Amino acid sequence: MTEFEFIRRYFSKQQHDSNVVLGIGDDAAIVRPKAGYDLHFSSDMLLAGRHFFEDMNPEDLAHKILSVNISDMAAMGAIPRWVLLNAALPSLDEKWLEAFSGSLFNVLSRYNISLIGGDTTKGDLIFSVTIIGETPCGKALRRDAAQNGDDIWVSGVLGSAAVALRHRLGELYLPETIYKLCEPALLRPIPRVDLGTLLLPLAHAAQDISDGLAQDLGHILTASAKGAILYADKVPVLPELLSLTRAGGLSWSQFYDCILAGGDDYELVFTAPPQVRAEIEQAGAASGATVRRVGQINNTGYLNIVDTAGKELVLAKKGFDHFG
């Protein structure tokens, strides 16, 4: 099977998008953006052995490489529209490609995204995805708009993916039942697209939690020239994970490291004025995502994380370092 045969068989599937003038099959794709909308562009690179295990099954892999990009759109309140996929593959394994392609197009269909191009070559297993989304002009959620007195909110539960990853790496031990509860968060994160769009008229600033809550909230604080207090005991976690820690199965240091600095959550952290709390709860319910207040923005210029007793928590690191 040649490169072009493989592209036609696995990636040139019919997609119905009236804004795609020309998709896969020419030197470049042509899309026609809607009038009155800003375009958003984001790219992620994922390497086997660095961002995912080399034995990860192709269905989970396709789901994850798209979801981490879609999550960037969710954080901006953008609707994801188009994707470019670049892939280096060690070989053209037809069974693997069939499973990967099927899962890929399932995710694309779920979010009404069109695959419009990319590139392929032989090499170590590497993927690079560029996603394009849109918001009404000037309405996007950004990191630099947090205001003094804003509530800090997070969606979903945090720490599950980080705990599962550390279990796989042998850095901590989970009972099998709890590992199975945490593993889906690592393999198949759920980007909060619907929540992001509902937050456009409500929230001031937002960021997706990819590298760790403390680090990603820190990006908002830096861009907005603000500080914050973050209540560690208010961060939503799996009850089973909290019970395991209380029983001594995890140290409190391991627990806080995973929920506050572990990353791979792909949930949203966002800020909003206190007067819209009820509307944000409604937005969470309407989108199918739980939301919880975990802190408040202030003018200190410093992120103060406190435990149940009100004592400051000092983390060994605040999040994932891509060159660490």
pLDDT of 6 higher than 90: no
- Paired residues of 30 in beta bridges: 22
Q: What's the DSSP call for residue 319?
A: S
What would the mean pLDDT of 281-302 be, rounded to a whole number?
97
pLDDT band, very low/low/confident/very high, at 82 (cuts 50, 70, 90): very high
Structure tokens given for 126: 């590497």
DSSP string, 295-314: EEEESSSSEEEE-TTSPBP-
Candidates 205, 260, 210; CA nearest to 233 is: 260
C-alpha span between 230 and 259 (Å, rounded)? 12
Cβ atoms of 209 and 158 closer than 8 Å: yes
- Residue 211 is predicted with a pLDDT of 92
Helix, strand, or coil here: 268?
Answer: strand
pTM of the model: 0.93
Q: How confident is the model at residue 245 (pLDDT cuts 50, 70, 90)?
A: very high
- The domains of the chain, with CATH numbers, are 3-136 (3.30.1330.10), 143-306 (3.90.650.10)
Least confident of 2-6, 199-203, 274-278, 317-321: 317-321
Dihedral (CA of 63, 66, 71, 76) sign: negative
pLDDT class for 1, splitting at 50, 70, 90?
A: low
Convert the pLDDT of each residue in 8-30 to its tens digit.
777 777 667 889 998 888 889 99
CA distance 82 to 266: 20
**Percentage with pLDDT > 70 across the chain:** 95
Note the pLDDT tens digit of each residue in 83-122: 999 999 998 888 999 999 999 999 999 999 999 999 888 9
- Quick one: average pLDDT of 45-56? 90
Q: Considering only CA atoms, which of 72, 44, 62 is closest in space to residue 266?
A: 72
What are the C-alpha distances in Å from 257 to residues 111, 183, 222, 246, 320? Answer: 32, 17, 21, 15, 11
Percent of the chain with pLDDT over 90: 81
Range in 9-18, 37-46, 118-127 with the lowest mean pLDDT: 9-18
State the average pLDDT for the chain.
Answer: 93
Place of tokens 């960037």: 72
CA separation (Å) from 56 to 49, 64, 73, 120, 254? Answer: 10, 10, 25, 20, 25
DSSP string, 53-120: -TT--HHHHHHHHHHHHHHHHHHHTPEEEEEEEEEEESS--HHHHHHHHHHHHHHHHHTT-EEEEEEE
Concatenate the DSSP letters of all residues of 165-207 into one string: HHHHTTSS---HHHHHHHHHHHHS----HHHHHHHTTT-SEEE
pLDDT of residue 176: 96
Q: In what order do the strands lie in the sheet with 151-155?
A: 205-209, 267-272, 151-155, 291-298, 227-231, 303-306
Consecutive H or E run containing 80 = strand 79-89
Q: Which of 321, 60, 10, 73 is nearest to 200 (CA)?
A: 73
Direct distance between the N- and C-terminal alpha carbons of the chain, in angstroms, rounded to an integer: 39
pLDDT at 323: 45
Say which residue the tokens 């009972």 belong to.
Answer: 175
pLDDT at 17: 86
